[in-house]
Structure 1
Amino acid sequence: MHLHGTSKKNELGHLEIGGVDTTELAKQFGTPLYVYDVALIKERARSFKKAFENMGVKAQVAYASKAFSSIAMFQLAKEEGLSLDVVSGGELYTAIKAGFPAEKMHLHGNNKSREELKMALEHGVGCIVVDNFYEIDVLDELYVDGERKIPVLLRVTPGIEAHTHDYITTGQEDSKFGFGLLNGQVERAIEKVLASKAFHLLGFHCHIGSQIFETQGFVLAAERVFEKIKEWKDRFSYVPEVVNLGGGFGIRYTEEDAPLPATYYVEKIVEAVQKQVKELNMEMPEIWIEPGRSLVGDAGTTLYSIGSQKEVPDVRKYVAVDGGMTDNIRPALYEAKYEAALANRMNDKEEEKVSIAGKCCESGDMLIWDIALPSVKPNDLLAISCTGAYGYSMANNYNRIPRPAVVFVEDGEAQLVVKRESYENIIVNDIPLKSKVVK
């Protein structure tokens, strides 16, 4: 298993993260357990911000909180001077409870409810990323004459889809998100927003994909957006104050992955925008990006206790852990791949190939297929790396399994930031049937 951030093998042959022995974490907090390397999150946040500073460009680095949301995580993002991308009333509420400054929040979503939009306006969020005409109409209705105009970005679909090393350009712009860049939708949206006294049109937003290991897709998206900005400058006498080019920066899950440094993504994005701005003879807009996975993904490790084993002769050996698709649904959902190690026996040689099974009543509840490990024993501690993004945030109570606890580790100290659910938590919203009245 590749060791990320402060992770290392200590003198006892145990996995250590943030200066804390993971075997001690398992004893204190139980398993399954999400462990976050706070120093690595800080390092990533600072590298994105520093890259913009070095380029001399005004920018906002907004943490895409769908990757992992909690009060403690939002407090950490605030401490690091990040902005915050939230996509629901629940994420917005959590951010408010964390004391995150509303003016640095950006509300996203393709179907924001009237209640969510009202909540955002009441708290004075810094920007609403408008996704459709329905939203424009609702916000127009909610606006109170004389109050601060509603700051908005229009989300556009540039007809580019990027994933890992590939990107695809699609004329039909087939996406549930945003206004089509090439079919006249954006122009209609601009007209509606500029004609209304409710809005302050900050600029435009686009997002081209996730787990991206190259920069060409971002460059091409910037070129496409600025081609249209040239038209809008002439047609509407409008130039954007902000251009948000989204996120999707990749991380290393396995040796097959080769992500670029944060600075490289930023440099290429800034250079692409600077080139376009120079050609259009316009003022440089503020550039916003939205890293999520690349801030927290490889900072997270999940610890499991090993239980049963099953040998299928001449086929495979199954090793079961006390979690599974309830705490990491990504392998079942889209065949995500991970690396792992025995956290309590890091010095032992790999002796057998096994497959890591979850405990849910689903044949598809498999965390890793065919991984080489030392000969495993019951109660060994298995660590799966790079589970910091979309692990806890997509966790569920299938089979009524409680969701795990979350701890932050840094400088030899561990802090519980999300409690483990109890069985009582599982039934807290259940309402028993009323007894029938017998006459």
Structure 2
Amino acid sequence: MKTKYFDLIDQTFDFPQEEFTLKNNQLHFHGIDLTALIEEYGTPLKFTYLPKISENINRAKGWFADAIKEHNYKGNYNYCYCTKSSHFKHVLDEALKNDIHIETSSAFDINIVENLKMQGKITNDTFIISNGFKRDQYIQNIARLINSGHNNCIPIIDNYEELNLLSEVINKDFQVGIRIASEEEPKFEFYTSRLGIGYKNIIPFYNKEIKDNPQVTLKMLHFFINTGIRDTAYYWNELLKCMKVYVKLKKVCNSLDSLNIGGGFPIKNSLAFDYDYAYMVNEIIGQIKQTCDEADVDVPNIFTEFGSFTVGESGGAIYEVLYQKQQNDREKWNMINSSFITTMPDTWAINKRFVMLAINGWQKEYERVLLGGLTCDSDDYYNSEQHMNGIYLPKYTKEKPLYIGFFNTGAYQETIGGFGGLQHCLIPTPKHILIDRDENGNVITSVFAEQQTSEQLLSILGYDYGINTASERAKMIPNEVAEAIKESY
């Protein structure tokens, strides 16, 4: 009778998979012994597996190269990384090893770009695609970058005022793009994206503001779908509408030579994940070429902006099950030694699913459980795995610790969770390690950040007495409180 946790995974999914294997009933991730990581660093633990970033970048480049060759497509392909997915230096350093470009979203992104330029990681040949609604500081920073000689910084016009604001502070000729305000899926509460300029208004805007402006050259049309690149009637319909605008605009604007198909690829959120990336790329390139050929215009250079796809599958989190609570005859709660709200906020905010597997105990019988976090918030739980909206894990026993891993958590979770700042119920940010490989393929690990301390959290809250250790503070606080009480009277 197949009642072991291994049997459940084996008969439910195609297992093992490229990144997940089992050795001695212990889970390995990209060949890395996760139990050994736990023994060395403890839990809760966050990690970033850096080689996966380069791997995904080069996978995408390969798909586009194959499609361009198959369709005899005359345009170039440019891979951009969306920094908003993860701004960390180790992520940018790894991504920039692969001859890519950058997409920015706000003012401080430009400061990161300038820092990377000083290090020689970015050059003036690197495209900086500046998206987003641009407030004054963002305008000023873009202008500073362009005025310093970075001619490949291309601000994407999001509203009718931005072009004039940029022209006032940029003291040389510059290139721009225009973002299309795409129509949202029918399930959305609004019809049109708040970002960009409407389909029907783009050519009138070009004729009025750019066509006869000697300082500005229109280079790019930016097309973004909020739900990402998916094989749906909605996506193909929006792409076709975008291409109709492109060919009309191209006929009156010869400088237009690039199309940015923003909106990212999905990433693996289950062992049952199935997405044909190569097919989608081939179809996109084929449809763009067909539309341009029929309109007798040159095909555009293609830009993509992949954020989650670049970094998402590099990240993971490991927790220990501290205790099991039997709350009624059907519900068992496995309590983890951290919080879902603080460490994986997308599970709480948008009910996002991640790949979840036990690290050990695969030889044990399994049971259905709910997972609860440490905060006193009733929403701090996770129950959205693929198994009929339930979670199955090896049976919990007090004698043997049970560890669980969440994978492909590398995009957005740290920034949305407020890395290094305050956390709900003052649950500390876990230790974060970086995993890399040397030229011989040997695993190298290093600590990026230790688990937050009470001193760090109290300092943010204003409880900073200039005392370095918890023990010193414990001795001093009663006297200081007493003196403060005396002064208040």
For normalisation by structure 2, the TM-score amounts to 0.78
Query: Is residue 421 of structure 2 the alignment partner of residue 420 of structure 1?
Result: no
Match of 1:141 in 2: 168
Superposition deviation, residue 78 in structure 1 = 0.6
Q: Which runs of no fewer than 5 residues in structure 1 stay unpaired?
A: 162-167
Aligned partner (choices 286, 296, 301) of residue 281 of structure 1: 296
Aligned equivalents of 1:79 and 1:233: distance in 2? 34
The 1:169/1:26 distance shift into structure 2, 3 A limit, reads closer
Aligned AA for 1:23? T
Superposition deviation, residue 279 in structure 1 = 1.4
The 1:89/1:438 distance shift into structure 2, 3 A limit, reads same
Aligned AA for 1:129? I
Identity %: 19
The 1:317/1:401 distance shift into structure 2, 3 A limit, reads same
Query: Is residue 258 of structure 2 the alignment partner of residue 242 of structure 1?
Result: yes
Aligned equivalents of 2:295 and 2:143: distance in 1? 34
Aligned partner (choices 240, 248, 253) of residue 269 of structure 2: 253
Superposition deviation, residue 109 in structure 1 = 4.3
Query: Is residue 49 of structure 2 the alignment partner of residue 37 of structure 1?
Result: yes
Match of 2:241 in 1: 224
Aligned partner (choices 428, 431, 440) of residue 402 of structure 1: 428
Aligned AA for 2:166? L
Superposition deviation, residue 334 in structure 1 = 1.5
Aligned equivalents of 2:228 and 2:292: distance in 1? 28
Match of 2:387 in 1: none
The 1:233/1:93 distance shift into structure 2, 3 A limit, reads closer
The SS at the match of 2:428 is: coil
Query: Is residue 101 of structure 2 the alignment partner of residue 101 of structure 1?
Result: no
Query: Is residue 175 of structure 2 the alignment partner of residue 151 of structure 1?
Result: yes
Aligned AA for 2:20? S
CA RMSD, Structure 1 to Structure 2 (Å): 3.0
Superposition deviation, residue 68 in structure 1 = 2.4
Deviations 1:168-219 (A, max 9, x none): 599x85222111113x256325632334344232121011123544165444
The 1:237/1:433 distance shift into structure 2, 3 A limit, reads closer
Tell me if the contact between 1:206 and 1:244 (Cα under 8 Å) persists in the aligned partners: yes
Deviations 1:205-260 (A, max 9, x none): 011123544165444333212212333345x4445211001122222312564322
Aligned equivalents of 1:407 and 1:190: distance in 2? 50
**Structure 1 residues 195-204 or 318-327, which shifts more?**
195-204
Tell me if the contact between 1:59 and 1:287 (Cα under 8 Å) persists in the aligned partners: yes
Match of 1:202 in 2: 219
Tell me if the contact between 1:32 and 1:305 (Cα under 8 Å) persists in the aligned partners: yes
Aligned AA for 2:122? P
Q: Which runs of no fewer than 5 residues in structure 2 stay unpaired?
A: 1-8, 10-14, 70-74, 385-389, 466-483
Match of 1:28 in 2: 40
The 1:335/1:35 distance shift into structure 2, 3 A limit, reads same
Tell me if the contact between 1:35 and 1:408 (Cα under 8 Å) persists in the aligned partners: yes
Deviations 1:371-423 (A, max 9, x none): 11111246422111221222223223222333231423443423336313523
Aligned equivalents of 2:366 and 2:132: distance in 1? 49
The 1:131/1:186 distance shift into structure 2, 3 A limit, reads farther
Give 1:351-362 correspondences, 5 Å limit.
Answer: 351-362=366-377
Query: Is residue 391 of structure 2 the alignment partner of residue 371 of structure 1?
Result: yes
Aligned equivalents of 2:110 and 2:326: distance in 1? 47
Match of 1:165 in 2: none
Tell me if the contact between 1:20 and 1:412 (Cα under 8 Å) persists in the aligned partners: no
The SS at the match of 2:144 is: helix
Highest relative contact order (Cα 8 Å, sep 6+), 1 or 2?
Answer: 1
Deviations 1:325-346 (A, max 9, x none): 111111211122234222133x
Give 1:333-352 correspondences, 5 Å limit.
Answer: 333-345=349-361, 347-352=362-367
The SS at the match of 1:24 is: helix
Aligned AA for 1:141? E
Tell me if the contact between 1:18 and 1:412 (Cα under 8 Å) persists in the aligned partners: no
Tell me if the contact between 1:160 and 1:221 (Cα under 8 Å) persists in the aligned partners: no
Query: Is residue 60 of structure 2 the alignment partner of residue 64 of structure 1?
Result: no
Aligned partner (choices 210, 213, 216) of residue 193 of structure 1: 210
Aligned AA for 1:204? L
Deviations 1:349-384 (A, max 9, x none): 442101111212211111235211111246422111
Aligned AA for 1:422? Q
For normalisation by structure 1, the TM-score amounts to 0.86
**Structure 1 residues 276-285 or 72-81, which shifts more?**
276-285
Query: Is residue 22 of structure 2 the alignment partner of residue 9 of structure 1?
Result: yes
The SS at the match of 2:211 is: helix
Aligned AA for 2:97? E
**Structure 1 residues 315-324 or 108-117, which shifts more?**
108-117
Query: Is residue 102 of structure 2 the alignment partner of residue 84 of structure 1?
Result: yes
The 1:97/1:23 distance shift into structure 2, 3 A limit, reads farther
Match of 1:305 in 2: 320
Aligned AA for 1:32? P
The structure in which a higher percent of residues are helix is: 2
Aligned equivalents of 1:307 and 1:134: distance in 2? 55
Superposition deviation, residue 8 in structure 1 = 2.0
Deviations 1:69-98 (A, max 9, x none): 210110111101221222123444344434
